[in-house]
Amino acid sequence: MNAQSSHGSDPEKLVKMANQIGDFFKSYPEDTAVEGIREHIAKFWNRKMRDEFFAHLDKKGETALQPFVALAVKKLRLNKAAT
């Protein structure tokens, strides 16, 4: 089962998934961790997942995100705005 079919319609699960990615990168230096999280979400989450995730964060805020994940999300949004 891919991430889209199992999590695409539940933003809370997307937050959990993002934090699980953050868990993987916890032992990395900050710059490496943030870029790794950003790259993973950009590469493996489809547009619908990212849009649902961002919309959820717009409503609920980023307080449920780990610090490195929150930084990665900011970079993702900057990249999205630039395209």
What is the residue extent of each domain of the chain?
10-82
Q: Does residue 37 register a pLDDT over 90?
A: yes
Q: Does residue 47 register a pLDDT over 60?
A: yes
- Average confidence (pLDDT) over 4-30: 86
pLDDT at 7: 47
Q: Does residue 80 register a pLDDT over 50?
A: yes
- The whole-model pTM stands at 0.84
Buried-exposed string 9-32: b where 16+ CB fall within 10 A, e elsewhere: eebebbbebbeebbeebeeeeeee
User: How would you classify residue 61: left for phi > 0, otherwise alpha for psi between -120 and 50, otherwise beta?
Assistant: left
- Average confidence (pLDDT) over 5-26: 86
Using a pLDDT cut of 90, give the percent of the chain over it. Answer: 81
Confidence of residue 1 (pLDDT cuts 50, 70, 90): very low
